[in-house]
Every structure is written in C-alpha cells, then in structure tokens.
C-alpha cells in the first residue's frame, strides 16, 4: 500500500501536518507580562504625610491581587469570564487591599487564577496559562498562578492569592480578632 506514490504523498502530508500541529501547540509565545494579568489597573496610595511625620511604610512597593479579591468598580471573575459577565462590579474594595493601599503600596492589577480557583496546575483555558518565568516549559502551579508569576517575573514586589484568603478565614473561624489590620 505504501509503495503507491499517491499514498506516500498522503503519508508525508499527514506527517508534516502532525509535526506542525504538535510544535504549534507546545510553542508558547511569551507575553511581556508572562500572561500573569487579567486586568491592569492602578490603585494609588494617598499622598504622603507632611514632615516630620514618617512616610507610609509601604511607599514605593507594587502589588497585584488574584481575581478573587474585590476592587471597587471592577468585577471579580474568579478566573471565569462567564462569572464576570453575570455579576456586578464590586461596591467596595476588599479590606486587605485597602489596607495595603492606605499603607503606601500601589496595586497594579488583577492576576489569573484557575477557573473558580479550583485546581493546582495554574492553567486557565479562558485567559491562558501564565508562563513560568523560571521554567517556561512547566506549568506555574497553584490556583493563584498569575500572582506567583507576577512576583517571580519581578513585575510586582508582592501579590495576594488564595492562600491568604484561606489563612484569614481560618483566623476568623477560630475567633482571632483583627486589630490594625
């Protein structure tokens, strides 16, 4: 069967098509932000106090938040565009985000999370999987993959992800009172 010249051309064509599709699937195009952000924004801190008062303690630092934290005027999508389309924009900003901004840090955007923060690989089929800046061939890992990538790629000084939410919820459930937080 393979000795027929037309069959050889078909096999050769299928082989080349397979190679093309394989390389296209596994070839990642690196975006400038490594695919870490769903939305870029700026929440600026308040003006510095006049001397002799000390400046805000987080002045000059930048941070990003996973698409799990509420920011007034923006929809929190939990990593899924259909969720974002069917929900209203937040009416207030999350307390932890507000505290960081009031402390002098600048929030620069919302980062990619797994759909509904439900996986450990860091992959999101809607917004794309952030590229691991250290090992681009490997998944970034974790449901807050965009937040991790933003820090690892030196795009921000720190970021907020899902583990912070779990930690704070555990403290609240166990009765810990928050003061100056």
Band (pLDDT 50/70/90 cuts) for residue 20 is: low
Domains of the chain, residue spans: 1-28, 31-173
Mean pLDDT of the chain: 82
Band (pLDDT 50/70/90 cuts) for residue 114 is: confident
**Architecture label for domain 31-173:** Alpha-Beta Complex (3.90)
In this structure, of 25-29, 86-90, 125-129, 152-156, the range with the lowest mean pLDDT score is 25-29
Structure confidence at residue 180 (pLDDT): 44
pLDDT for 172 beyond 80? no
**Which residue has better confidence, 178 or 39?**
39
In this structure, of 48-57, 70-79, 105-114, the range with the lowest mean pLDDT score is 48-57
pTM, rounded to two decimals? 0.74
Give Cα separations from 126 to 38, 129, 141 (angstroms): 10, 9, 16
Buried b (16+ CB within 10 A) or exposed e, 12-47: eeeeeeeeeeeeeeeeeeeeebbbbbbbeeebebee
Band (pLDDT 50/70/90 cuts) for residue 9 is: confident
Band (pLDDT 50/70/90 cuts) for residue 115 is: confident
Structure confidence at residue 93 (pLDDT): 96
**Spatial separation of the C-alpha atoms in residues 11 and 50, rounded to whole Å:** 76
């Amino acid at each position: 069967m393979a000795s027929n010249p037309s069959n050889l051309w078909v096999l050769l064509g299928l082989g080349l098509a397979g190679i093309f599709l394989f390389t296209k699937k596994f070839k990642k195009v690196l975006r400038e932000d490594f695919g870490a952000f769903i939305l870029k924004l700026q929440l600026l801190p308040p003006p510095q106090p006049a001397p002799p008062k000390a400046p805000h303690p987080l002045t000059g630092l930048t941070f990003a938040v996973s698409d799990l934290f509420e920011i007034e005027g923006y929809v929190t999508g939990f990593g899924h565009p259909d969720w974002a389309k069917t929900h209203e924009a937040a009416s207030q900003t999350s307390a932890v985000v507000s505290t960081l901004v009031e402390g002098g840090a600048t929030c620069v955007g919302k980062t990619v999370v797994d759909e509904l923060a439900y996986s450990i690989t860091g992959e999101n089929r809607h917004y794309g999987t952030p590229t691991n800046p250290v090992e681009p061939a490997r998944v970034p890992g974790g449901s807050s993959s965009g937040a991790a990538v933003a820090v690892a790629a030196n795009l921000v000084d720190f970021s907020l992800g899902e583990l912070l939410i779990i930690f704070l919820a555990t403290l609240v459930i166990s009765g810990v009172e928050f003061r100056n937080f």
